[in-house]
Amino acid sequence: MSARAPRPSALDGSLPTDWMESGACRNAPGVDFFPSAGSGVLAAQRVCAGCPVREACLEYALIQEISHGVWGGASDRQRQRLRAARLRDARVANAGRPESMAG
C-alpha cells in the first residue's frame, strides 16, 4: 500500500505528518539518515527502498525544501535534481499558456 503524498492543508498551509508513524526508518536502529556521504547514504536508502510511505516522505522533503539527510530514498543532491527538474517542467508547461492564464 502506498501512502498518498502530503498536500498543504487548506486552512494553514501546513503539511500533514501522520505518515511519519509508518516510516521504515522508525524501526531501523543504527542507520544514520543524515550521513555525510557514501556508504551511509546507501544504508539509509536500503531502508527506504521497502518503506510504505516512501513517496509521501520524499514529497514532504521536496515541498519543505529539506536540504540534509535521506528522505524518501533520495539524498540531498538527488532532491536538488528533482526540484530543478520540476521547475523546468513547470516553466515548459507555462510557456505555451497565454500570459493571463500563466501563473
CA distance 67 to 52: 22
Lowest mean pLDDT among 16-20, 54-58, 80-84: 16-20
pLDDT at 2: 43
Burial of 52 (0-12, 13-18, 19+ CB in 10 A): middle
pTM: 0.76
From residue 89, give the alpha-carbon distance in Å to each of 22, 86, 96: 31, 5, 12
The domain spans of the chain are 18-95
What digits encode the pLDDT tens for the residues 32-74? 999 877 788 999 999 999 999 999 999 999 999 998 999 999 9
